Amino acid sequence: MTNYRIQAILDRYEWERRNIIGSAIRDEYQVLAPTTVARLTNEEYLAPPTDSPLGSKVIHITDMGDFCTCKRKWNWSSMLRCGLQPSVTPVPLFFGSAIHFALDHGYRDCIGDEHAHFNLKRALGAFKLWLKGHIKKTIEYTGPLWEFEKEKVDKVLNLGAAMLRHYSLWAEPLDKLFRMIGTEYKFRVPLPGFERHGLEYAGRFDGYIEDIASGNRYILEFKTAKSIRSRRSGGRSSNIAGVLRGMQSAAYTWASGQVYDQPAQGVLYRFMCKDAPDMPKPLQRGGYSRAKTIKSSVAWFRWALKEIAVDKVITSGEGDAPPPGMLDAVYASELEAAAGALSVLRQRQELQAGLVIGNEFFLQVPMRKKRLQLDGALTALVGEGKRMTSPDQVVYPTSGFHCNWCSFKTPCDLIAYGHEDQVPAILDAAYGPRTYWEPEVQDEY
Ligand code: SF4
């Protein structure tokens, strides 16, 4: 991916990075007693408002997203209303959740270490475990998988494994800049000034990190994306700009001041493209293809060449006890054979400007927030929260591109086609009580 494509996404945020560096966010936001913001158990996090010890009304960032996008979807899914989720999620739609689970486990071991380090082995194990659990749940509900469904699961397994491996190679040098303070932190905090209304704000930090050089803290937020390219570049649909423009970063930054002694300066987003890089393609005349269409990165290519070298050593019959230095020699000759392909990949310069780093597979963007923005986020949270908790809130559909991945499309279509009477039966048969706050369906950003 060329620089200008990613730069196009980032241009409009340049002002923000310029203006915010060095700004202090703090003080009046650190007002709540720690007992109200202790790390929650899953049950506490999921507790519906009426069961809350505070008798509160919980405003969740994902719920708010649904509320702003489509009131009908929100009405079916929100814990403030029907609190439903699909009983079974189709394979492509649960992928993002499995990746998040794997990333969380991959970073757990390094909490408190000198610098962050992604444990690939643990992440791969967690990814497989998550899928296994989900497939088991699906089989319990629908019976054994069809052959094509098994193939889809295999595809997802291979894609996830390749993405996580590629991520570990890409993130390794970047992670050395940060210290991991915590992963997967679910929080629920009262909205200041509205305690008597019982309004609380809930969310989940994928990670909490410290920039070793500056001592600044950031909330780490992962997003899976269909593509890193933006619409402006003429590529496939990509809504990374929308995520960066959204209020999540300001709202989470404000919440970090309620949860941690040292609040975050903002959110460090890491976008991951749902795509696997190509393996090196050997040519009959020797060497490797240097076609410009190859999807890869230098780090991945070098890793793949090492794997090829290991295979060659094993098939040479010297696998058990190869002579000292043999693997290094084979690897060096593969690197030499791939010099042309590697130079093509190097020409696709990766974007790097401070902490903004990206290629066609991954993009890291820090969103620093200043006090004015936190005030704005707080006002929006309270305003939307009051509307969401009002019994007078009207429910109506708002159709658009987002309907393509709406998990309530079937009952919604029934209403559109005049079969409203069948909706309760569908909701009863294909949906159950909501058991999570984070969306199992990761939007195709
Ligand atoms: S399909 Fe579209 S209009 Fe219908 S509930 Fe879902 S998001 Fe709303």
pLDDT single digits (tens) 256-300: 988 888 999 999 999 998 899 999 998 988 889 988 888 898 999
Same domain, yes or no: 158 and 304: no
189-193, 317-321, 340-344: the lowest-pLDDT one: 317-321
What's the CA-to-centroid distance between 150 and ligand 1, angstroms?
Answer: 29
SS3 338: coil
Same domain, yes or no: 291 and 366: no
pLDDT digits (tens, 9 = 90+) for 67-125: 999 999 999 988 888 888 888 766 556 788 889 989 999 999 999 899 999 999 999 99
Domain assignment present for residue 66? The answer is yes
Mean pLDDT for 51-72 is 74
Cβ of 412 less than 6 Å from ligand 1: yes
Same domain, yes or no: 242 and 161: yes
Same domain, yes or no: 307 and 387: no
User: How many Cα atoms sit within 13 Å of 95 on the Cβ side?
Assistant: 25
In whole angstroms, what is the distance from residue 82 CA to residue 175 CA? Answer: 41
Same domain, yes or no: 146 and 286: no
Confidence of residue 177 (pLDDT cuts 50, 70, 90): very high
Above 70 in pLDDT, residue 148? yes
> Per the structure, how many domains does the chain have?
2
Residue 92 has what pLDDT?
Answer: 54
Cβ of 404 less than 6 Å from ligand 1: no
Domain assignment present for residue 444? The answer is no
Q: What is the mean pLDDT of the chain?
A: 79
Residue 240 has what pLDDT?
Answer: 77
Cβ of 73 less than 6 Å from ligand 1: yes
Residue 229 has what pLDDT?
Answer: 63
Residue 10 has what pLDDT?
Answer: 45
What's the CA-to-centroid distance between 426 and ligand 1, angstroms?
Answer: 15
Instruction: Output the DSSP codes for 10-49.
Output: HHTTHHHHHHHTT----GGG--S-GGGGPPPPHHHHH--G
In whole angstroms, what is the distance from residue 269 CA to residue 133 CA? Answer: 28
Confidence of residue 64 (pLDDT cuts 50, 70, 90): confident
Residue 436 corresponds to which tokens in the numbers above? 């999570």
Which amino acid residue places its CA nearest to atom 5 of ligand 1? 73
Mean pLDDT for 397-426 is 91
Q: Among 113-127, 399-413, 428-442, name the most confident range.
A: 113-127
Between 444 and 139, the more confident residue is: 139
Which amino acid residue places its CA nearest to atom 3 of ligand 1? 399
pLDDT digits (tens, 9 = 90+) for 208-266: 999 999 999 999 999 988 777 654 444 444 567 777 777 889 999 999 988 888 999 99
Confidence of residue 437 (pLDDT cuts 50, 70, 90): low
Residue 90 has what pLDDT?
Answer: 60
Query: Which ligand 1 atom is the nearest neighbour of the CA of 70?
Result: 8
Domain assignment present for residue 442? The answer is no
Same domain, yes or no: 128 and 255: yes
Confidence of residue 318 (pLDDT cuts 50, 70, 90): low
The residue from 296, 327, 350 where one domain ends is 350
Mean pLDDT for 44-56 is 43
In contact, 83 and 433? CB cutoff 8 Å: yes
Please provide residue 40's backbone torsions phi and psi, each rounded to the nearest 5 degrees: -90, 150
Cβ of 397 less than 6 Å from ligand 1: yes
Which amino acid residue places its CA nearest to atom 7 of ligand 1? 403
Same domain, yes or no: 262 and 132: yes
Residue 113 has what pLDDT?
Answer: 93
Domain assignment present for residue 207? The answer is yes
Pseudo-torsion of CA 59, 242, 403, 145, nearest 10°?
-90
Mutate to test the pocket of ligand 1, among 62, 69, 72, 93 (most ligand atoms within 8 A of CB): 72
Residue 213 has what pLDDT?
Answer: 92
Same domain, yes or no: 255 and 341: no
Residue 389 corresponds to which tokens in the numbers above? 């908790």
Query: Which ligand 1 atom is the nearest neighbour of the CA of 412?
Result: 4
Domain assignment present for residue 406? The answer is no
Same domain, yes or no: 285 and 268: no
Residue 260 has what pLDDT?
Answer: 87
Domain assignment present for residue 80? The answer is yes
**Of all residues in the chain, what percent carry a pLDDT higher than 70?**
79
Query: Which ligand 1 atom is the nearest neighbour of the CA of 398?
Result: 3
Which amino acid residue places its CA nearest to atom 4 of ligand 1? 412
Above 60 in pLDDT, residue 28? no
Same domain, yes or no: 332 and 184: no
Domain assignment present for residue 399? The answer is no
What's the CA-to-centroid distance between 186 and ligand 1, angstroms?
Answer: 28
Cβ of 302 less than 6 Å from ligand 1: no
Mutate to test the pocket of ligand 1, among 74, 81, 395, 399 (most ligand atoms within 8 A of CB): 399
Q: Residue 86's domain spans which residues?
A: 3-272+361-394+420-433
Same domain, yes or no: 35 and 172: yes
Helix then strand then coil, in percent of the chain rounded to 5, is: 50, 15, 35
**Residue in the structure block whose two tokens are 């987002």:** 402
Domain assignment present for residue 243? The answer is yes
The residue from 291, 318, 350 where one domain ends is 350
Mean pLDDT for 3-31 is 35
Residue 239 has what pLDDT?
Answer: 66
Mean pLDDT for 304-327 is 82
Same domain, yes or no: 54 and 16: yes
pLDDT digits (tens, 9 = 90+) for 336-364: 998 888 888 887 767 777 778 888 899 89
In whole angstroms, what is the distance from residue 166 CA to residue 360 CA? Answer: 12
The residue from 293, 318, 350 where one domain ends is 350
